[in-house]
Chain A
Amino acid sequence: MTHDNPHDHDHAHEHDHSLTHDQVSEFSPDDPEARARALQSLLVEKGLVSTEAVDEAIRAYEQDIGPLNGAKVVVRAWLDDQYRERLLEDGKAAVSEFGFDHGIDDLVFVENTPDVHNVVVCTLCSCYPWSILGLPPTWYKSEAYRARIVREPRTVLAEFGLELPEGIDVRVWDSSSDLRYAVLPQPPTDVEKTDEAELLELVTRDTMVGVDRVVYP
């Protein structure tokens, strides 16, 4: 097997490589693997992208850019009211204060309250707040999630293990426009007294997508 790119040597999913390749018919130029290589090869030749930049984008999304970014934003919003206001006013600007690798999303934070629970979906193209959550999980891209969370949010949330009381209003935000939504979960009641590291651990990817709520220890 050839190495697809120089980062693959220690990848667990290298095993999947041949499997995926087989599934797409071995010698077809329509094979997405061949097309991805062709596009990269041509763009590099034309000086429009460098292989280093492609590898760096992959590395960043595999190693650096993940839900911990989002957790830092959320915890700061919990502890600093002025930041919270800035975040709800202009998510992109407030998140940019952290200096995360950015560039592909215009972010809007929607705030959970005792009466309102927010949940995020992208019905058309599985857009996702990448810069603060990293890569989307498989279920987020499934047609089942994309279609059903809009039509029957409570039922779908229950499948995630989140049973919401009747009194709570569920709002579904579709990221299909030019905006990427993320949820600002509710802080624990003793937020001021809790250690920042502990707070960070409470904020998971699922709480920022809105298929879960922050669990108070």
Chain B
Amino acid sequence: MTEKPDPRESTRETATDEGYPPLERLLSDDISSDLQTEMYSFDAPWQARSFGLVVASIRQSETFDWDQFQSRLIGAIEEAPDQQDNTRIEQQYYQRWIEAFETLLVDSNILTTEEIDSRANDFVLNERTAEEFVEGKQTSDH
């Protein structure tokens, strides 16, 4: 007979008294706290792209600014379900970045949701690939 996990054990692992997953694991995973040379980085390339895209676009934009992005980021985080899982914090955070940026671009009449849906679909179906972001390659190459 296999031993059943103690349900209290898992509760203790995933939530504190206030209902938040505990900080402990996050702190022990954080290797960069004492080292200035150890830079904190991205978990996945798409997260880097999300961050870099927003930073570069705001810097170049004459239409929108950081505050307009930030207010939409706050909205996106408020609307998102509560974090139940400390292992997906990075993913969820940059997902909110992309949602907020989309809202900003649509609100600023720069893009439409249909346009974004359609282009995202092209990438999902491999009709477009990230090759188009590689220097020297054009979108027509695919």
Give the interface of A toward B (CB within 8 A): 2-8, 11, 13-14, 16-17, 20-21, 23-24, 27-46, 48-58, 61-63, 66-68, 71, 103-105, 124-127, 134-139, 141-145, 147-148, 151, 156, 159-160, 176, 178, 200-201, 203-206, 212
Contacts and interface: CB of A to CB of B under 8 A. Distances in A.
Interface size class of B (residues with CB under 8 A): 35 or more
A42 B36 contact: no
B67 interface: yes
Contacts, number: 260
Interface of chain B, main secondary structure = helix
Contacts of A35: 98, 102, 116, 120
Nearest to B111: A42
B11 interface: no
A34 B60 contact: no
B30 A66 contact: no
B45 A14 contact: yes
A216 B88 CA distance: 36
A212 to B, nearest CB: 7
A153 to B, nearest CB: 13
Nearest to B54: A57
B74 A5 contact: no
Interface string B19-31: 0111110110110
Nearest to B28: A139
